[in-house]
Amino acid sequence: MAEADFVIVGSGSAGSALAARLSEDGKHSVLVLEYGGTDMGPFIQMPAALSYPMNMKRYDWGFASEPEPHLGGRRLATPRGKVVGGSSSINGMVYVRGHARDFDHWAETGATGWSFADVLPYFKRMETWHDGGHGGDPTWRGTDGPLHVTRGPRKNPLFHAFVEAGRQAGFETTGDYNGEKQEGFGPMEQTVWKGRRWSTANAYLKPALKRDNVDLYRCLARRVVIENGRAVGVEVERGGKTEIVRARREVILSASSINTPKMLMLSGIGPAAHLAEHGIEVVADRPGVGGNLQDHLEVYIQQASTQPITLYKHWNIFGKALAGAEWLFFKTGLGASNQFESAAFVRSRPGVDYPDIQYHFLPIAVRYDGKAAAEGHGFQAHVGPMRSPSRGRISLRSADPNEPPKIVFNYMSTEEDWVDFRHCVRLTREILAQKAFDPFRGKEIQPGADIQSDDEIDGFIRDHAESAYHPCGTAKMGRASDPDAVVDPGCKVIGVEGLRVADSSIFPRITNGNLNAPSIMVGEKAADHILGRQPLAPENLEPWINPRWETSDR
């Protein structure tokens, strides 16, 4: 029978980091349960191929939302990694820690010990930062962690035009949005190392699996086994048989903000009435399980390019074969970058003290599913608000662990969402209209010059807004007295012994930017809580806050 001191469900961003840290001193055995298969394929390891794995059944759970009521009933794709490394093996490899104020907000709302001063040492511990000679903020960055963070070569002039256009529009520039100053236009960072996707499988799990005390167990985790109020193991399905994997000390769920709440509910932890509907015996009535679901939504503003310098010239069978061959043999060239090499974080209006809009800039007009715009040469800016007030919910479709959960994001459910999104569209047009883009700017492909009024822009958003694939918050961390909290600040599930959650489910509120980095940080920090170690000493570095924040958006 399989058993270990610690059983971790999920080998993703947080799970892999946990496995590595819990096994590091050799005193404890760790068993990682993973349903997905190997990550060895070129589609995963080659950064530029990122649109493939998240559309492949082999690597993706294939979730979709229910028809979204405020987006014209569209079902939005909700990819989650079903592979070693989890979503860090199929994501866009963009590296964003989040803003210091995001974590201070966590602490203020009940996640004591998770303020920015508390989490910064973990961000530093996990990364080895390579600035590539482009400037940045070494005092804020890590030098010897397992996760390599690099910058793209930024050879395409459009990457520089974007930053310059931001400056011309009156916004700040920044040399390192993961350092003191997030606000502004500047280079984007990626989890790519020596031309390969640097997932948590590569960074943490594979080195850990070389130890005698770590094992990977391929199975479908069905539910947590709870005896007398204590988690003692996990019921799994393997080769058509059901068995129990025992945990001598603790079970840790790191199964994603979609699968973790599903598993909690299947185990009897969740809203009592909802569990009763599905005939599940209630172990702990936690109404917050599955609630508080948040995500980032974005639109792609696409512009034709008058010069044939975009990636479109490689967007054919020969171009892709050539880039693929160069990557295969040398791990260099176009294949070696995710192509997100310039970024921006800005504030939407006066009175907002830190950025609430994010930009990814891409030197091609293309969709996430890899379909190129028929227009030919173009470039695009992905833009969206960072802190939507809308909240959704994950719930059970049935008591069968093989059924996907019901996902309702409830996107765009408040007036504020619409106001913020219209502003994003108009602001992007203002930036792309700056002098820096004069040598390149053709007609607007999307939304198109005829889309101008609030109603027209709303229609565009309703039809074209896409998830940035940053779901989180479905097992919120907070005070034990908070009825909506699911875990306490030690990541312990409230009301059950021997069970913790460590992944993006526990985020009380979504952080700025992409969620891979803060999810890994959660795994790093949770490991110290689980081992009963003194947390790393807080570091009181103050983030840059725009001195004009009360009077201007730039």
CATH number of the domain to which 426 belongs:
3.30.410.40
pLDDT (0 to 100) of residue 368: 57
Q: CA 250 to CA 241: how far, in whole Å?
A: 24
Is the same domain home to 39 and 174?
no
Is the same domain home to 50 and 117?
yes
Angle between helices 415-432 and 454-464 (to 10 degrees): 100
Is the same domain home to 490 and 512?
yes
Residue 381 in domain: yes
Residue 226 in domain: yes
pLDDT (0 to 100) of residue 57: 93
In DSSP terms, 9 is beta-bridged to 33, 253
Query: Quick one: which H or E segment has residue 285?
Result: strand 284-285
CATH number of the domain to which 208 belongs:
3.50.50.60
Q: CA 171 to CA 430: how far, in whole Å?
A: 12
Q: Write phi, then psi, for 317 (nearest 5 degrees).
A: -60, -40
List the strands of the sheet with 127-129, edge to edge. 127-129, 147-151, 189-190
Residue 183 in domain: yes
Q: CA 289 to CA 223: how far, in whole Å?
A: 15
Flag whether 496 is marked binding: no
Is the same domain home to 104 and 132?
yes
Tell me the three state secondary structure of residue 464. helix
Is the same domain home to 242 and 374?
no
pTM tops 0.95: yes
Residue 395 in domain: no
- From the list 163, 196, 462, 489, the residue with the least C-alpha distance to 330 is 196
Flag whether 24 is marked binding: yes
Is the same domain home to 504 and 530?
yes
Query: Quick one: which H or E segment has residue 215?
Result: strand 214-218
Is the same domain home to 135 and 217?
yes
pLDDT single digits (tens) 406-452: 999 999 999 999 999 999 999 999 999 999 999 999 999 999 999 99
Of the candidates 437, 464, 491, which is a domain's last residue?
A: 464
Is the same domain home to 231 and 125?
yes
Of the candidates 422, 439, 464, which is a domain's last residue?
A: 464
* Arithmetic mean of pLDDT over the chain: 95
- Kindly tell me the burial class for residue 153, based on how many C-beta atoms sit within 10 Å of its own C-beta (0-12, 13-18, 19 or more): middle
Q: How far is CA 187 from the centre of its chain?
A: 19
Q: CA 259 to CA 308: how far, in whole Å?
A: 44
Residue 393 in domain: no
Residue 441 in domain: yes
Flag whether 419 is marked binding: no
Q: How many domains does the chain have?
A: 2
Catalytic positions: 470
- DSSP-derived letter for residue 204 is I
pLDDT single digits (tens) 367-418: 656 565 657 899 999 999 999 999 999 999 999 999 999 999 999 999 999 9
Per-block mean pLDDT, blocks of 10 residues, the chain (554 long):
95 98 98 96 90 90 97 97 97 97 98 98 97 78 97 95 98 96 97 97 98 98 98 97 98 98 98 98 98 98 94 84 88 90 98 98 78 77 98 98 98 98 98 98 95 98 96 97 97 98 98 98 98 97 97 98
Of the candidates 464, 495, 525, which is a domain's last residue?
A: 464
- From the list 262, 267, 228, 221, the residue with the least C-alpha distance to 244 is 221
Q: Write phi, then psi, for 119 (nearest 5 degrees).
A: -90, -20
Q: CA 465 to CA 457: how far, in whole Å?
A: 11
Is the same domain home to 222 and 358?
no
Half-sphere exposure of 387 (CA within 13 A, CB side): 19
Residue 7 in domain: yes
- From the list 25, 56, 20, 26, the residue with the least C-alpha distance to 41 is 56
Flag whether 18 is marked binding: yes
Residue 310 in domain: yes
Q: Which domain holds residue 358?
A: 153-187+297-385+413-464
Cβ neighbours, 10 Å, residue 217? 18
Q: CA 354 to CA 56: how far, in whole Å?
A: 37
Is the same domain home to 314 and 457?
yes
Is the same domain home to 238 and 372?
no
Residue carrying the six token digits 């973790």? 260
Is the same domain home to 283 and 324?
no
Flag whether 370 is marked binding: no
